[in-house]
Structure 1
């Protein structure tokens, strides 16, 4: 769908996406890639100028916003070594099926971040969040063509159909490779999900159709949710993909496995236990303000951003480690 936002709001927004055919999907760290290298961009010159011209710094994290204009190739590959994982906390509150909500803390290195809007001609419009350090941009990224790779790096996001996805480190994960399937990077798979899936079942299908490459980076697991309130965790156990469907009013994910693990054992993880307690007490019902309070309970010293996605409303609420004002975005729902 096309974005229909006031011009002032549109100038503050961002977009990008992609997927590696071989090797890790995370672009090269700062200083390692010269500006002007090939990217996922399939834009004409005017679209490049419009995209780069939309970049705005909006807080001192620093947090940027950008709107990607035109086409990108979600199979274009990039390569890099990601940072050491520190943690993440995610949950779905689906006790009220009329307003399900996806929430997450992103806990990582102290890097700049970007709110990115994408609206590919052959996929769903989406809002996602990007750790900009993996783009290799300098301290002042204005005009840097490496920003055109941002579509490759959604660390979490939601599309116009209300499908949301986020990732967290899972040290024990191991993904085997099927030579009959294409291989994509472990972050890039989020772009394919956001572009192509409207439901949890469709998102699981995207995962099933690909090998995931964890080489050179932390192995990961993933939380999915959609506008119906359905949710699932996707994990990789002994090389096999496992899907743990949400069975109640909520589902949570931190950095411990959940597939086949009894709930009481999961709650031995402090952050998982705090989320589980809060969600159990509320019956899995939480508006954005309540969800941010739960995220605050499990916030860590290295939490970079906290975000909620309204899976039916399209509302996105974001706070960063600066402690500044909450930022709100509206994704038109298709």
Structure 2
């Protein structure tokens, strides 16, 4: 039996008690709350934990409660009252590294230990939880509630089994036709599902095949998935189907049908393939762009990570899979 779940979020760090079973009943003592499942006491404890750590901005909070892992995050859900993804990713034995290159938005680290899933560490850009141009205000109850939803919007992450996943913008993607009766999830929610429920690359790919994806509201995406056993694959949607490509590097070029020469013509892809002997964070520095927001290296063996925000390379945050050590 698993211990009570704790999810730690922070823009960089968040912890939370979380149940990730779909359509979980509303907890006793709480009104129906949509995607988040919290009692009044859990809402108050979550709000009381919020604090600002640095000027990225980097926030920290402890999220108490549960969530529906398959329900969509609608504008109506995010507005509930509360008292270019240009990226570079690589995998090599024991390590998974990525630069998230986009607008200058706040970010959040999520430490999650659901009772019916795997513990994980992940990153999210929380601007997608707010109206365009808005900045989180920790003094506002509604903003604090919006931030709690970051547990459901990871952009990259690693779980306790050593599975790592990251997304990047794809030049073009044509998703398969919808399958009647199949759950539709967003391009970031599928990462939460993989982190919670998949231990290996084959399991993650099988899980992706059981959902229909929706890229509405954001760019087209493709994914790099890797595991502790050394397996890696790129998942990209083209020709109306999900394609699995044998590769361990990913930037923003079309991978499906591309030969090696075409891939190496992309500067960042080529630098990643040539960087086998380079320290992982240094390699991310080499492929960083002016709009790189975070650079993270996941240690798949030891379940730890190192992260640099806004290209401040001398300031490295050390992270653990669990906020409890």
Same fold (TM over 0.5): yes
1:90 to 2:94 alignment:
no
1:40 to 2:35 alignment:
yes
1:303 to 2:297 alignment:
no
Secondary structure of 2:208 counterpart: helix
Take 2:111 and 2:269, find their aligned partners in 1: how far apart are those partners? 30
Return the offset for 1:219: 0.6
Secondary structure of 1:68 counterpart: strand
Q: Identify the residue that residue 202 of structure 2 maps to in structure 1.
A: 201
Secondary structure of 1:14 counterpart: strand
Contact 1:69 1:118 in 2 (8 A): no
* Equivalences for residues 103-252 of structure 1 within 5 A: 103-136=97-130, 138-142=135-139, 143=141, 144-180=144-180, 181-246=182-247, 251-252=248-249
Return the offset for 1:78: 1.6
1:272 to 2:269 alignment:
yes
Take 1:327 and 1:3, find their aligned partners in 2: how far apart are those partners? 26
Contact 2:85 2:100 in 1 (8 A): no
Return the offset for 1:178: 3.2
Change (3 A) 1:140 1:191: same
Return the offset for 1:147: 1.8
Take 2:88 and 2:135, find their aligned partners in 1: how far apart are those partners? 29
Take 1:153 and 1:165, find their aligned partners in 2: how far apart are those partners? 13
Take 2:232 and 2:269, find their aligned partners in 1: how far apart are those partners? 16
Q: Comparing 139-148 with 189-198, which one deviates more in the overlay?
A: 139-148
Change (3 A) 1:18 1:103: farther
Contact 1:305 1:320 in 2 (8 A): yes
Deviations 1:233-257, CA, capped at 9 Å, x for gaps: 00001111000134xxxx1100012
Take 1:3 and 1:327, find their aligned partners in 2: how far apart are those partners? 26
Take 1:258 and 1:114, find their aligned partners in 2: how far apart are those partners? 29
Take 1:4 and 1:187, find their aligned partners in 2: how far apart are those partners? 21
Deviations 1:204-261, CA, capped at 9 Å, x for gaps: 0111101111223211000001111111100001111000134xxxx11000122332
Change (3 A) 1:318 1:3: farther
Secondary structure of 1:206 counterpart: helix
Secondary structure of 2:149 counterpart: helix
Deviations 1:24-60, CA, capped at 9 Å, x for gaps: xxxxxxxxxxxx9945211222322333333332221
* TM-score of the two chains, using structure 2 as the length reference: 0.82
Larger relative contact order (CA 8 Å, sep ≥ 6) = 1
Contact 1:18 1:192 in 2 (8 A): no
Q: Identify the residue that residue 312 of structure 1 maps to in structure 2.
A: 301
Higher strand share: 2
Q: Provide the aligned C-alpha RMSD in A.
A: 2.9
Contact 1:170 1:256 in 2 (8 A): yes
Take 1:212 and 1:164, find their aligned partners in 2: how far apart are those partners? 19
Gaps of 5+ in 2: 23-30, 76-83
Take 2:188 and 2:47, find their aligned partners in 1: how far apart are those partners? 23
Take 1:129 and 1:60, find their aligned partners in 2: how far apart are those partners? 17
Q: Identify the residue that residue 262 of structure 1 maps to in structure 2.
A: 259
Q: Identify the residue that residue 14 of structure 2 maps to in structure 1.
A: 14
Deviations 1:155-194, CA, capped at 9 Å, x for gaps: 1111111111000000211102232322111111111111
- Count of residue correspondences: 293
Take 1:64 and 1:223, find their aligned partners in 2: how far apart are those partners? 27
Take 1:69 and 1:211, find their aligned partners in 2: how far apart are those partners? 29
1:77 to 2:72 alignment:
yes
Contact 1:18 1:153 in 2 (8 A): no
Change (3 A) 1:170 1:2: same
